[in-house]
Structures are given as structure tokens and as C-alpha cells.
Amino acid sequence: MGNLTFILELFGTVAFAISGAITGIRKNMDILGVCVLGVVTAIGGGITRDVLLGALPPTVFEHPVYLYVAVAASLVMFVPALRGALFANHKLFDLLLLLTDSVGLGIFTVVGVGATLAAGYGENMLLCVFMGTLTGVGGGVLRDVLAGDVPYIFVKHIYALAAAAGALVCCICHSFTELSVSYIGGFVVVFLLRLCAAYFRWDLPKARPTEEEEKETSENKK
């Protein structure tokens, strides 16, 4: 399973790094800002997971290949010709962001579950689901905070819920089959839920502001 996990993490690193770099480009950041967002998005969730599991130093510092790959993917997105092609086609831009983010979310969610299982917590399904979800969404939360946005998981398209559902499926499948199959099951659930949520505009319920709140908001804007 070591080679499979390594390959999955590389794919996830590239996907999330592209997602973070695109956000930096959209925010008109310089090359350092684009790289920082790409790297943070790619490795932030894994570092948080490792710290909570007591796996110190975090994996990325023992195997810096993930850091190098994240930086390289971010730099590629900074190429002027590629940026021009993306921004000239807004549909292509949004589709690339959705696909890379969904792929990264699915991969890191199941890898997070696998890391928790490997740490000896296979009997604690709640912890496995939590760590899988955290690994999947952690980098995106850091990306959004650094970019000055409300974290995506709190406002749109059942993002964290998709990760939690995939992590749960991965844990359940692992009880009946080998880990590689459970990885596939969890990833497919996350990926399909993200795409369906984006296409059908699925969102969790939000509180509608009262008349008093709307009035106070309008007064504060004056």
C-alpha cells in the first residue's frame, strides 16, 4: 500500500496546488503569493493531521518531494501563456478549479483515513472520519483564510460534508475489503458528490436574515 498511497498523495498534491495557485492568480498575487497558496493548499491538511496524530515531524518534512511538487505545480500555473488561456475562457477556468479541487479533496480524504488506520486507530471510526475530513479540507481552509475569503467549506456546495461522506464510506469498506478498494470507494463518493453539488447547486440550509438584521446591515453600510 505504500506505493499506492505515495502515488495518490502526489496526484492530490498537484491537484490542490493548482487549486491554490489559481486562487492566488485570481487575487492578483505575485509569484510568491501564488506559490504560498499552492503549497499551503496542497500540504496544509496533511500537516494538521500529522500533528494531531502525533506523527512528528509531519510527513512533508521527512519526504520534501511533496513540497517540491507543490511548488512546481504552482509555478506552472504562473506561466503567462497558460494564465492568458485560462482567463480568456472563464468556463474553462471554473471547470479546472472545480475538477482539481474535487480530485484533491477526494484523494486527501481517503489518504487521511489511511494514515489514521496506519497510526493504529482503526477501531475508532469517528477519529478516522474526522482525520480524513480534516486532511481533505484543511488546506482549502488555510488557502481561503490567507486569500481573505470566507472558507469555502462554510458557504458552498456541501464541501466538508462530501469529504465526511467519502471518509465514512472508506472506513466502512475497509471493514469488508482491502484498503485499496476502500480508497476507490471513498474517492468516488467525494468526487461525485462535489460534481453533483456544483452542477445541481446543492447547498446546506442557511439562516435567512430577519428584518431587523437587514435594517442594521444597511445602516452599517451607510
How does pLDDT run across 90-111, given as a tens digit for each residue?
787 788 878 888 888 999 999 9
Distance CA 112, CA 133 (A): 7
pLDDT value, residue 214: 63
pLDDT value, residue 65: 93
How does pLDDT run across 118-160, given as a tens digit for each residue?
999 988 999 999 999 999 999 989 999 999 988 878 877 788 8
Q: How confident is the model at residue 43 (pLDDT cuts 50, 70, 90)?
A: very high
How does pLDDT run across 177-198, given as a tens digit for each residue?
888 899 999 999 999 999 998 8
pLDDT value, residue 134: 95
Question: Which residues neighbour 22 within 8 Å (Cβ) at sequence distance 6 or greater?
Answer: 77, 86, 93, 96, 97, 100
Distance CA 42, CA 24 (A): 13
pLDDT value, residue 218: 62
pLDDT value, residue 217: 58
The pTM for the full model equals: 0.86
